[in-house]
């Protein structure tokens, strides 16, 4: 069985501060994929990043960066110099390679509020 | 707009009524997924189509739920004899078969059963 844990339910930071969202996962698959999605108030899930289990390189995209550590089963997400537009619910998700079905197992999400 | 489209965006229904939602995936995507999201939770997988074939159904999908994808294009999700516990956001996503890729989500249909 797969499981994703996002222990932080809500986080509030003042604009321009850095913030890290934690994600811990469990899976028995040797090949798997990790994702982060953003859900603004409009409701649509917006894809941010995909990582496969063989690639532990950290990734940076603008103000966003991701730290994948297989040894601790974590895939944390950092926003640098946060902005009000970053306010949303962020979900970490896991996908296995079960006969090519890429269904996602989501965490419960972290609601991020950036205070102007 | 070439994204995933869901209709309606909101639906209020009385308990016991049947409701049907529609999802139009991105045109070249042959995989289509339905998820349900309740307040304060992450989306939960309901069912999955590859073309017109329904390949997997979650245990969350009771007998009152049925999904179809005729001709492998749009999909419908029907809930019969709705219950208050069915109130949730129903999300549709699509992806392209082949090298694993991200699923693209629609804006969802919010169902309220009163």
Can you tell me whether residue A79 is helix, strand or coil? strand
C-beta atoms of A107 and B42 within 8 A? yes
Average pLDDT over residues A29-45: 90
d(CA B24, CA A79): 33
d(CA A105, CA B48): 13
Higher pLDDT pick, A116 / A44: A116
Task: Residue A43: list chain B partners with CB under 8 A.
Answer: 89, 107-108, 110
B45 → closest Cβ in A42, A45, A104: A104
Can you tell me whether residue B109 is helix, strand or coil? strand
pLDDT at B37: 96
Q: Grade residue A15 by pLDDT with cuts at 50, 70 and 90.
A: very high
> Which of A55-59, A72-76, B29-33, B98-102 is predicted most confidently?
A72-76
pLDDT at B45: 93
For residue B28, give Cα distances in angstroms to A40, A102, B32, B71.
26, 17, 11, 13
pLDDT at B100: 60
Average pLDDT, chain A: 91
pLDDT at A98: 58
Decide if pLDDT at B9 tops 60. yes
User: Mind telling me how many Å the CA of B9 is from chain A's nearest CA?
Assistant: 10
Find all residues with CB under 8 Å of B98, minimum gap 6, and list them.
none
């Amino acid at each position: 069985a797969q499981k994703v844990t996002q222990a932080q339910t809500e986080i509030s930071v003042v604009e321009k501060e850095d913030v890290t969202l934690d994600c811990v996962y469990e899976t028995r698959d040797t090949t798997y994929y990790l994702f982060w999605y953003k859900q603004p108030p409009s409701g649509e899930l917006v894809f941010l990043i995909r990582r496969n289990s063989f690639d532990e390189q950290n990734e940076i995209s603008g103000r966003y960066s991701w730290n994948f550590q297989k040894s601790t089963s974590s895939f944390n997400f950092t926003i640098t110099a946060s902005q009000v537009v970053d306010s949303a619910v962020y979900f970490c998700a896991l996908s296995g390679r079960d006969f090519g079905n890429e269904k996602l197992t989501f965490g419960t999400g972290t609601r991020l509020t950036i205070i102007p | 707009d070439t994204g995933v489209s869901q209709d309606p965006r909101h639906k209020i229904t009385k308990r016991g009524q049947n409701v049907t939602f529609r999802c139009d995936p991105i045109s070249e995507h042959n995989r289509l997924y339905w998820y349900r999201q309740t307040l304060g939770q992450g989306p939960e997988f309901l069912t999955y189509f590859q073309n017109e074939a329904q390949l997997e159904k979650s245990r969350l999908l009771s007998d009152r739920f049925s999904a179809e994808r005729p001709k492998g294009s749009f999909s419908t999700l029907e809930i019969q004899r709705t219950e208050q516990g069915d109130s949730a956001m129903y999300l549709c996503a699509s992806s392209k078969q082949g090298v694993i890729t991200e699923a693209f989500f629609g804006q969802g249909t919010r169902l309220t059963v009163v």
